[in-house]
Chain A
């Protein structure tokens, strides 16, 4: 157990950790107990670094979702450590987690999860407001973020009037509310056609490269590997390997 690790330490065989935004060390997650216990994830260690796109690949039931749920502080690990801002937050209670999630994470989902009654701008603004950030004018910030994802002209449209790709861009803008350094995507391109999927990944790639964010994407789609700096392969609850890719489009 590397309990003494901090963000200034270096894990063997990986890049300098000065860019590390979050670190999972020896993470395990077991559902149930006794003879009914199911180990969803075992001894998973992973750094999440600024400016990188990390793809998490693996078959269904391999533990990908458990891995990003624990990374996003949505699920408590049975054992192991999650380091953020120099603190092990793995054992924090639900009382403390919303503020941490609001500060560090944005989420993008396959199903977009946009309120159908709200316009694109309102969907982004309400998330900003609910994150309880210090942003004085959530509407102005929402407009800026929609502009960032190229959707300013559609700011006042309802989700029903947007294409799948546009909805996902709204969801990305919403995830960027409050400027979290880590974006986590759960199959964000699965519901999109190839062209749209690639453009969404280009956007995520750009957000990582230019804004210094870390983007972590769970996917089944090998075509997305070209956008990744690293590909983490998960099988049977174990991280089988981490492929580093130094070039991307």
Chain B
């Protein structure tokens, strides 16, 4: 059956090329759109995912990770003294103005972290590719991502500027740390961050918690949540909360998935039309086989095999195109997260899409009266 299916498909090469193009575009759209979505979501939660904290504690009612309301430092001590908390660290996060070399300003997202020397912090810049991140504890030291160089109009470690009118010096570079808000992320020591972000006396946005070994996470969470105005989340919960906030509030999820669904519809229509016209072309031959005793199932297998060949080749071509698109988009600071899981899911979608596209042809063959071969 494979031989017949393959030869019938390849016999009309132009039509086959159109079918493969249809599936390929469909596969590429699904991979790129869903990959972009996951890329954005990875970006949105990247700081949370990179932390080593067991719990993230913030002000109750905070909806957005980036736009969280700070509280004062007394709250930090209250959290740190909760039974079951082994270690607590402060994070301050807000937006400030970064002075550009040409005299202009650019909004940046300052992330203040604790940088006690000789102590592995629960949150610190990662993927450092240049400079000395240990200098982050120095007053005015900042760490930036290399991808933000053009936006910030700087070109080297050691660049000096001002944030909110306060001195800043780039001491290290990271790779691949970007913000969902598109504002460059600037890591600084907590004290330095406080000088950039005048939010009151000793502000803190989040308290990161490392639990005592063996304690029940839910018990400690309940103890923290019992404190006034606080809400705690495990790191995975915080990550998911942030992703769903950006996904639902911005409509980015619906947007990307709508385009992906449109891609599937395009593929479905193209493959369906190609298979159906191919079936019509060979209707007499199929009728002849049915007249001579071929069962419907045998001919249905031929049509399904054609659909699977189209799906397989279209998936390979579409998958390669998606890798090309990923590389092209990387130049525009867009991350297309193409995981093996996404490829596997897209392969399943492609097979299902092509199978459903073959339904019309299958119905046509099932209804084909073998006596019709005598009708001229």
A contacts, CB < 8 Å to B: 65, 68-69, 72, 74-75, 98-103, 105-107, 109, 111, 113-118, 122, 126-127, 129-132, 174-175, 177-178, 180, 186
In the complex, which residues of chain B have a beta carbon less than 8 angstroms from the beta carbon of A186?
373-374
Distance between Cα atoms of A81 and B258 in the complex (Å): 60
Q: Do A117 and B292 touch across chains, with their CB atoms under 8 A apart?
A: no
In the assembled complex, B77 has its CB within 8 A of some CB on chain A: no
* A105 with B8, Cβ < 8 A, contacts A113-B287, A130-B298, A132-B298 known: no
Q: Do B371 and A105 touch across chains, with their CB atoms under 8 A apart?
A: no
Residue of B nearest to A158 (CB): B11
Q: Which of A65, A106, A113, A177 contacts B285 (CB 8 A)?
A: A113
Q: List 22 A-B contacts (CB under 8 A).
A: A65-B375, A74-B291, A74-B370, A74-B373, A74-B374, A98-B293, A98-B294, A100-B293, A102-B294, A115-B8, A122-B7, A126-B4, A126-B289, A127-B289, A130-B289, A130-B294, A130-B299, A131-B294, A132-B293, A132-B295, A132-B298, A175-B292
In the assembled complex, B10 has its CB within 8 A of some CB on chain A: yes
Q: Do B8 and A117 touch across chains, with their CB atoms under 8 A apart?
A: yes
Q: Which of A69, A114, A127 contacts B292 (CB 8 A)?
A: A127
In the assembled complex, B3 has its CB within 8 A of some CB on chain A: yes
Q: Do B295 and A114 touch across chains, with their CB atoms under 8 A apart?
A: no
Q: Do B10 and A117 touch across chains, with their CB atoms under 8 A apart?
A: yes
Q: Do A105 and B11 touch across chains, with their CB atoms under 8 A apart?
A: no
Distance between Cα atoms of A89 and B339 in the complex (Å): 59
Q: Which 7 A-B pairs have the closest CB atoms?
A: A102-B293, A117-B11, A130-B294, A74-B371, A113-B288, A101-B293, A117-B7
Q: Do A131 and B292 touch across chains, with their CB atoms under 8 A apart?
A: yes
In the complex, which residues of chain B have a beta carbon less than 8 angstroms from the beta carbon of A102?
292-294
Interface size for chain B: under 10, 10 to 19, 20 to 34, or 35 or more residues?
Answer: 20 to 34
Distance between Cα atoms of A111 and B3 in the complex (Å): 23
Residue of A nearest to B9 (CB): A117
In the complex, which residues of chain A have a beta carbon less than 8 angstroms from the beta carbon of B288?
107, 109, 113
Residue of B nearest to A123 (CB): B285
Q: How many A-B pairs with Cβ below 8 Å?
A: 88
Distance between Cα atoms of A177 and B293 in the complex (Å): 11
Q: Which of A65, A101, A132, A178 contacts B291 (CB 8 A)?
A: A101
Q: Do A122 and B295 touch across chains, with their CB atoms under 8 A apart?
A: no
Distance between Cα atoms of A75 and B369 in the complex (Å): 9
Q: Which of B1, B11, B290, B292 contacts A106 (CB 8 A)?
A: B292
Q: Do A114 and B293 touch across chains, with their CB atoms under 8 A apart?
A: no
Q: Do A127 and B294 touch across chains, with their CB atoms under 8 A apart?
A: yes
In chain B, positions 1-36 with a C-beta closer than 8 Å to chain A are: 1, 3-4, 7-8, 10-11
Distance between Cα atoms of A98 and B293 in the complex (Å): 4
Q: How far is the CB of B72 from chain A (nearest CB, A)?
A: 79
In the complex, which residues of chain B have a beta carbon less than 8 angstroms from the beta carbon of A107?
288, 291-292, 373
Distance between Cα atoms of A105 and B289 in the complex (Å): 11
* A111 with B292, Cβ < 8 A, contacts A118-B7, A130-B298 known: no
Q: How far is the CB of B366 from chain A (nearest CB, A)?
A: 10
In the complex, which residues of chain B have a beta carbon less than 8 angstroms from the beta carbon of A178?
293
Residue of B nearest to A109 (CB): B373
Determine which residue in B290, B295, B298, B370 has the highest number of CB atoms from chain A within 10 A of its CB, and name it: B370
| Extra 4 A-B pairs, beta carbons < 8 Å, given A103-B293, A113-B287, A130-B298 | A72-B291, A74-B369, A116-B11, A174-B292
Distance between Cα atoms of A129 and B4 in the complex (Å): 11
Q: How far is the CB of A164 from chain B (nearest CB, A)?
A: 16
In the complex, which residues of chain B have a beta carbon less than 8 angstroms from the beta carbon of A68?
374
Q: How far is the CB of B288 from chain A (nearest CB, A)?
A: 4
Determine which residue in B4, B285, B293, B298 has the highest number of CB atoms from chain A within 10 A of its CB, and name it: B293
